[in-house]
Structure 1
Amino acid sequence: MTEPSGETAPEAPEDVEPAAEEGEEAGAPQEPEAAETGREAETADAPAEEPGTPAGTAAEEPEPTDGAGAAQDGAAASGDGAAAPELSDAQAELAAQRELRAKIEARKAEKAGPPAAGAKLSGTAADLLAAVRAVEGGAASGSTFFEAAEPAPRRTAPEAAPAVTVRPPVPAQAAAPAPGTTAAVREVLAKGGAPEALAGPVAAALGEGAAQALLDDPWQLLAVSGVRPEQADGFARALLGADCGPDDPRRTVALTVWLLERAALQGHTALEIGTVRAGLAGHAVPDPESAVEEAVSAGAVLVFQEEETPRDQGVEEAAAAEAPDEEGEEPAEAVAGPAAPVLLGLDRYALAEESLADGLARLVRTATADTWEGSELERAAGSHGLVLHTGGEASRAEPVALAAAGRERGLRTLVAVHADSGRRLLGPAGADAVTVAALLSGAAGPGRDEDGAFALDLLVVLDAPQLDVETAAMLVESLPDGCRLVLSGDPEVLGAPGAGRVFADVLAARVCPRIASRLPDPGPLGELVSGIGVGELNQVEAPGKEIVIVPVRDAGEAVHRTVQLVADSVPRAIGVPSEQTQVVTVGHGGSAGTRALNAALKQRLNPGPGRFGGFDPGDRVAYAPVPGRTVTGTVLSADAEGLRLRCGDAELLVPKERVERELRHGWALTAHQAAGARWPAVVAVLPGDAAGGLSRAWVYTAFGRAERHLSVVHGVDQALARAVAEGVAPERTTRLRPLLEALLAVPEE
């Protein structure tokens, strides 16, 4: 068998799987299921391939890469599409989020003592947290307590400089700003030489006082997705002239917040303090330590440090440290391990992680143990309030069976999935399943009581790795005391498109039973993907053309072959229509990223002038109504109100002012966008310049989206096999695991 070959471009593609990010740099729709393109070699114009050669045939050894970003640009496909009778799905979800957030904050306010996150602090870290609390209470300035022993001298700021403005978190879906607000912002933008097209987003992000906020603090422009620090600096110079400099406290605070927000797009809920300082230094901040101190003093960021548990040292080391010596003397002081890092984070993610940890602990403590007969999963769910279940696609049958058993016991039971396509994968049981987004918005699922809790005794959540920390916190806060929660998913897939790594953190914390499925995924595709999960890109026999390798020399040929597969080869040879075939690639930019592929696929499958904001009726689209959730659908029509889509079984309206920001063409998606969904056929595109974006998790996720057939357009030479063997995606910095470990004792094995 000959191995496919391809050129490796010198540069990685633009926007290679950034992280859950909105706007042009983001938008992560979900990946479609792969369709079998069995016989491309039999067609005159089909790409050359090896009959029966599984994807493993292309087992070139890929360059180790840090994987496609992390939490994807902002949208995990959640095709719930259902809308409430009078409110759109996005509006209903926003209203529910606001209500739940208010409830969470009220619960936090009721706590008598300081948050658990800081209970174990000492020394410098305690001083840092004291600074935060003193500032929040108005008792002192945080600069007195900050970590730096002696901050470097700072340039004297102009006496007339206004106070630093701390920008509040932008709501998931801001309401349309008043026309007067937008007009006032437009004038300020024009004065500072910024594009007037930013007026709407700035007004939506900063609210009614946006114009004055920009005049007082021009770096508030960074509140808008896609605005870079260099652009905000230029805007500030135009407005303030000589009254601003690189160490202006307004600038340093805005940059600190911006760095943490960018980190959240990569999946982090916090960053080590040294990483933040390095980021500030990279943006010409003269004194990064004092800049971080300024941000803490202003209350823009919070400081955390969780102590590691003895388990992190290893069981034997921990036991040795506690055991007395042979003479019966007191045990020697254990060798101190590395101190837990000092972290900086934004309030919204700190609140979400602490609320989630508290909520999970509440479920563990309030569930009444019961003896359930049946499978291992059923027995665990009967005895515990929180259970984790891991496995591949075939393992979905086990938590679905658990839900059915729960109903037979008279329990109020519900199954929730990540994407609407996940309901189809459940067969007849999918009729009663809902998406997490629809459940939280109230568009589906049981009603809520006066405390905002769902009428449920057992909630089974599939695709749990796609839960970001804010969504998970709202979900858990909505469960009543005594409710059982089962989180099920494949830990090998790419993580959530939003901040956090909820499923991985709860697994690592070891605070509840973990049931691993023994059901293997069937067929050649199951064998291929299972091997990738353990770092092996195996040759797999595919007599039914379930897997096809299409070697290409460059990105241009990759685009041509992809269009040919989707439009001709797969429908003709495999019998899967184009609309059920999904293209998955590494990033949005580059010569074979989603932008280039979508342009080529539109020209072939639905040519048109793009009369409605670049879209025509019949276009396949990826719609991101809120950051972290993407719905795939088709354009139906357009009118004065906006663009009308069909997403699943529902019709949605995208207001015209949000079309450019929230819609992309969706014939081609990134693997992050596709996680949590599957399609009958998938075409995975690996051009030479995409080698830097590959990781084992990316390959596992992209290839695993296919139900019946997978075509691999292969141009990365040895990079694919090396990515599978060595390419580990970068870790996310989060706080959930130590918070859970502090709240819950390790269960007996």
Structure 2
Amino acid sequence: MTEPSGETAPEAAEPAEDLREEAAEGLDAPEEPGAAEAPAEGPGTSEEPGTTEGPGAAEAPAEGPGTTDEPGTGGEPGTAEAPAEGPGATDEPGDRAEAGADGGELSEAQAELAAQRELRARIEARKAEKSGPVASGAKLSGTAADLLAAVRAVEGGTASGSAFYEAPEPAPRRPAVETAPATPVRPPAPERPTAPAPGTTAAVREVLVAGGAPEALAGRVAAVLGEGAAPALREDPWQLLAVPGVRPEQADGFARALLGPACGPGDPRRAVALTVWLLERAAVQGHTALEVRAVCAGLAGHAVPDPEQAVEAAVSEGAVLLFQEEETAEEEPEGDGDVEEAPPAEREPAAPALLGLDRYALAEESLAEGLARLVRTAKTEVWEGGELERAAGAHGLVLHTGGEAARAEPVALAAAARERGLRTLVAVHADTGIGEDAVTVAALLSGAAGPGRDEDGAFALDLLVVLDAPQLDVETGAMLVESLPDGCRLVLSGDPEVLGAPGAGRVFADVLASRVCPRIASRVPDPGPLGELVSGIGAGELNQVEAPGKEVVIVPVRDAGEAVHRTVQLVADSVPRALGVPSEQTQVVTVGHGGSAGTRALNAALKQRLNPGPGRFGGYDPGDRVAYAPVPGRTVTGTVLSADAEGLRLRCGRDELLVPKDRVESSLRHGWALTAHQAAGTRWPAVVVVLPGDAAGGLSRPWVYTAFGRAERHLSVVHGVDQALPRAVAEGVAPERTTRLRPLLEALLAADGE
């Protein structure tokens, strides 16, 4: 293709460290990018829509490790970027906890996140009020089980704080068979929280200044640590690590400034705080727990002299929970010694000990109990229709798998259920315009849409169909299931090949693996060349497909600068001219935020071409496409409408949203270019996937499958990774997430069958 004149790629912004872009295990060891090899053979190559040249891509030199997609939103390990200056430095909107203003009323986004936390706290309080042993205690061993039971008892008001220092007898295990289903827990509608008191924020500011930390952190610290934040920080400066965005080396410097040279790497307070921090980082990567040995390795990497002792201290103080799943091997029979003992090699190994945070342990336990309750309480009915309809009539929980074309099947199920007179709702991950009857999961839980809640906090529903189920994280899944009444039927539908949820857990994959309910696999293939290409990727093959209608185009590039140049040309000129798809309906997807062709560099170049302006409203102008993260892990796309004293006003799907002025910098970025995790759950008429040479280390089969699958009519691939692309499709399986949902769910329903 002739080199256009007069356009130059902008310089890439200096990458800043994004905590969501580092691996949870290893923690400080970035993944090496794949070396450039011979040109890849793939799905047809062309420099521009409208041409149909043969396969082959120009060789692109490797440019060093590039940043990957937010690993917290899909479990993909990536390379860390250069650290930003100052505690709390952040670059990803919504990746951090809400930054409350100094005093005053919380913003809508802050209120939503805090309301969800309040909802989880209420569920926990109600669980503590139940009579009988604590369910999760049966999964702990020794002192850990006693500690968890004591924590829950104190929080429920049935024991005093001195119970932590006593040595009670271990709580009895839950009987294997229950005579009746447990009383369901119903979370009430969330209430709007209050902002930290101005005095609290001012006191925190004084402590931060004394420790050499930025005063701007005061609002966030007060929001995270509460009313006693200032004295808590003076007593234990490493509690600063509880604020998202603060790194260990920054907390260490803060502690030295407050405590003097006496504090060292072996300080017990530091060890406990680092243990919690490692588990929080693991949650960003999608894990709800980590093996003890992985946590010890992480502590050793941060110069903790005795990692095992540090873990014991964190468990004994109740900062983290210890889980030891029971061995599946049968107990040895009692006898007089005539029974031959199995050799050690034939014994089934015990499950590794896991460490986790209470919030994720509670969510997984609540979700497992809620799913088991739906299975138990559904009445078996005979529904006429296809396989999915029959399964939904006979079971309280049904899984449905398939590609984009298969989404029509659960939607048709919901329509048929309404005709039967059932109270039915379809919930989706993003507002994709599938119909007026569908609502987003976030809107349903917040009460902004859906049937509302009864006096017990349950939705007035007989059937809930959830599309894009792989995007459910464990806390969202728990809140959703706990809000369904007894007898309600739940159908979870989605494509198991896409990237995982943007938060901790792998709800859809764990329930699929547990095999506790019917699984209906759609036989409807995705149509056309795009469907053929994406289906092949799911099977591990990058096939060359015939694309007579220019459905798939490959644009080879030599380096990242050319990748940016070609991307702008495709979005602004080639795709609209050759295919009739306007620029505003074309989405760019790339591997990470940093690097020479990450979202920052691409968005800067696309804004300059498509909507140039001075950025007079915090870097944004009316007409800018944006990606807005109202809460961590959830991204919605939209367009800037206007700005006023309150903040920026956006059009996002069918809704008009206000981004408060103090949230613009932390929760908003330009959205012409997104990462695949941000784009998951949404499709556009045309998609341009950008793969510069430094993106090779961030590729995996789920990433390629998700990115290529966002296109409805046309896909352009700006290709500079050579053989790394077919190698990622053939071999690049995303790392597994460590979770506990599957064994919890299997144990609950296995007890019913005994």
Residue equivalent to 1:378: 389
**Closer, same or farther: CA 20–378 of 1 in aligned 2, 3 Å:** farther
Aligned mates of 2:315, 2:613 — CA distance in 1: 52
Does residue 249 of structure 1 match 2:260? no
Q: Give the letter aligned to residue 276 of structure 2.
A: V
**Closer, same or farther: CA 57–50 of 1 in aligned 2, 3 Å:** farther
**Closer, same or farther: CA 20–380 of 1 in aligned 2, 3 Å:** farther
Percent identity, aligned pairs only, is 80
Q: What does the per-residue CA deviation read over 1:50-82, in whole Å, with 9 as the maximum and x for residues that have no partner?
A: 93469x8669999999985643288899xxxxx
Aligned mates of 1:517, 1:558 — CA distance in 2: 37
Residue equivalent to 1:539: 544
**Closer, same or farther: CA 65–185 of 1 in aligned 2, 3 Å:** closer
Residue equivalent to 1:397: 408
Deviation at residue 644 of structure 1 after TM alignment: 1.4
Does residue 436 of structure 1 match 2:434? no
Residue equivalent to 1:269: 288
Residue equivalent to 1:71: 72
Structure 1 contact 93–441 (Cα < 8 Å) conserved: yes
Structure 1 contact 13–593 (Cα < 8 Å) conserved: no
Aligned mates of 2:332, 2:57 — CA distance in 1: 53
Q: Give the letter aligned to residue 746 of structure 2.
A: E
Residue equivalent to 1:512: 517
Q: Give the letter aligned to residue 308 of structure 2.
A: E
Does residue 191 of structure 1 match 2:210? yes
2:483 to 473, 478, 483: 478
1:467 to 445, 463, 472: 472
Q: What pairs with 1:160-309 in structure 2 (closer than 5 Å)?
A: 176-307=195-326, 309=328
**Closer, same or farther: CA 514–135 of 1 in aligned 2, 3 Å:** closer
Q: Give the letter aligned to residue 125 of structure 2.
A: A
SS in structure 1 at match of 2:738: coil
**Closer, same or farther: CA 373–493 of 1 in aligned 2, 3 Å:** same
What are structure 2's unaligned runs of at least 5 residues?
Answer: 1-14, 25-42, 75-91, 96-104, 155-161, 170-189
Structure 1 contact 181–203 (Cα < 8 Å) conserved: yes
Deviation at residue 88 of structure 1 after TM alignment: 7.5
Q: What does the per-residue CA deviation read over 1:493-517, in whole Å, with 9 as the maximum and x for residues that have no partner?
A: 0000000000000000110000000
Structure 1 contact 303–344 (Cα < 8 Å) conserved: yes
Q: What does the per-residue CA deviation read over 1:450-506, in whole Å, with 9 as the maximum and x for residues that have no partner?
A: 000000000000000000000000000000000000000000000000000000000
Residue equivalent to 1:18: 21
1:417 to 428, 431, 434: 428
SS in structure 2 at match of 1:235: helix
Deviation at residue 401 of structure 1 after TM alignment: 1.0
Residue equivalent to 1:620: 625
Residue equivalent to 2:678: 673
Structure 2 contact 212–257 (Cα < 8 Å) conserved: yes
Structure 1 contact 260–271 (Cα < 8 Å) conserved: yes
1:559 to 559, 564, 588: 564
Aligned mates of 1:40, 1:616 — CA distance in 2: 36
SS in structure 2 at match of 1:242: coil
Q: Give the letter aligned to residue 538 of structure 1.
A: N
**Closer, same or farther: CA 599–62 of 1 in aligned 2, 3 Å:** closer
Structure 1 contact 66–695 (Cα < 8 Å) conserved: no
SS in structure 1 at match of 2:436: helix
Deviation at residue 350 of structure 1 after TM alignment: 0.5
Deviation at residue 179 of structure 1 after TM alignment: 3.6
Residue equivalent to 1:488: 493
Deviation at residue 583 of structure 1 after TM alignment: 0.7
Deviation at residue 110 of structure 1 after TM alignment: 3.4
Further displaced range: 58-67 or 208-217: 58-67
SS in structure 2 at match of 1:624: strand
**Closer, same or farther: CA 67–705 of 1 in aligned 2, 3 Å:** same
Of structures 1 and 2, the one with the larger relative CO (CA 8 A, separation 6+) is 1
Deviation at residue 566 of structure 1 after TM alignment: 1.0
SS in structure 2 at match of 1:353: helix
Residue equivalent to 1:315: none
Structure 2 contact 144–316 (Cα < 8 Å) conserved: no
Residue equivalent to 2:27: none
Structure 1 contact 92–442 (Cα < 8 Å) conserved: no
Structure 1 contact 89–441 (Cα < 8 Å) conserved: no
SS in structure 2 at match of 1:119: helix
Deviation at residue 129 of structure 1 after TM alignment: 2.8
Deviation at residue 412 of structure 1 after TM alignment: 0.4
Aligned mates of 1:454, 1:135 — CA distance in 2: 31
SS in structure 1 at match of 2:649: strand
Residue equivalent to 2:607: 602
Further displaced range: 529-538 or 330-339: 330-339
Q: Give the letter aligned to residue 509 of structure 1.
A: S
Further displaced range: 691-700 or 216-225: 216-225
Residue equivalent to 1:314: none
Deviation at residue 144 of structure 1 after TM alignment: 13
Aligned mates of 1:358, 1:65 — CA distance in 2: 42
Structure 2 contact 451–459 (Cα < 8 Å) conserved: yes
Q: Give the letter aligned to residue 690 of structure 1.
A: A
TM-score by length of 2: 0.81
Aligned mates of 2:712, 2:748 — CA distance in 1: 41
Deviation at residue 371 of structure 1 after TM alignment: 0.8
Structure 2 contact 48–574 (Cα < 8 Å) conserved: no
Q: What does the per-residue CA deviation read over 1:505-545, in whole Å, with 9 as the maximum and x for residues that have no partner?
A: 00001100000000000010000000000100000000000
Residue equivalent to 1:130: 146
Deviation at residue 332 of structure 1 after TM alignment: 6.6
Structure 1 contact 417–433 (Cα < 8 Å) conserved: yes
Aligned mates of 1:173, 1:224 — CA distance in 2: 22
SS in structure 2 at match of 1:673: helix
Q: What does the per-residue CA deviation read over 1:206-260, in whole Å, with 9 as the maximum and x for residues that have no partner?
A: 2233222222221122122221100110111011102311111211111111101
Q: Give the letter aligned to residue 624 of structure 1.
A: A
**Closer, same or farther: CA 172–645 of 1 in aligned 2, 3 Å:** farther
**Closer, same or farther: CA 108–562 of 1 in aligned 2, 3 Å:** same
SS in structure 1 at match of 2:736: coil
Residue equivalent to 1:586: 591
Structure 1 contact 39–545 (Cα < 8 Å) conserved: no
Residue equivalent to 1:81: none
**Closer, same or farther: CA 647–202 of 1 in aligned 2, 3 Å:** same
Deviation at residue 614 of structure 1 after TM alignment: 1.7
Q: What does the per-residue CA deviation read over 1:611-660, in whole Å, with 9 as the maximum and x for residues that have no partner?
A: 22222221111111111211111112222211111111221111111111
Deviation at residue 297 of structure 1 after TM alignment: 1.6
Further displaced range: 264-273 or 213-222: 213-222
- How well do the aligned residues superpose, as a CA RMSD in angstroms? 3.5
Aligned mates of 2:243, 2:19 — CA distance in 1: 21
Q: Give the letter aligned to residue 405 of structure 1.
A: A
Structure 1 contact 277–292 (Cα < 8 Å) conserved: yes
SS in structure 2 at match of 1:498: coil
Structure 1 contact 16–693 (Cα < 8 Å) conserved: no
SS in structure 2 at match of 1:744: helix
Deviation at residue 98 of structure 1 after TM alignment: 4.8
Further displaced range: 435-444 or 293-302: 293-302
Q: What does the per-residue CA deviation read over 1:707-749, in whole Å, with 9 as the maximum and x for residues that have no partner?
A: 011000000010000000000100000000000010013999x
Structure 1 contact 67–696 (Cα < 8 Å) conserved: no
Residue equivalent to 1:51: 51
Aligned mates of 1:283, 1:498 — CA distance in 2: 25
Deviation at residue 197 of structure 1 after TM alignment: 2.4
Further displaced range: 234-243 or 100-109: 100-109
Structure 1 contact 131–141 (Cα < 8 Å) conserved: no
**Closer, same or farther: CA 225–667 of 1 in aligned 2, 3 Å:** same
Aligned mates of 2:111, 2:531 — CA distance in 1: 38
Aligned mates of 2:426, 2:58 — CA distance in 1: 38
**Closer, same or farther: CA 139–182 of 1 in aligned 2, 3 Å:** closer
SS in structure 2 at match of 1:290: helix
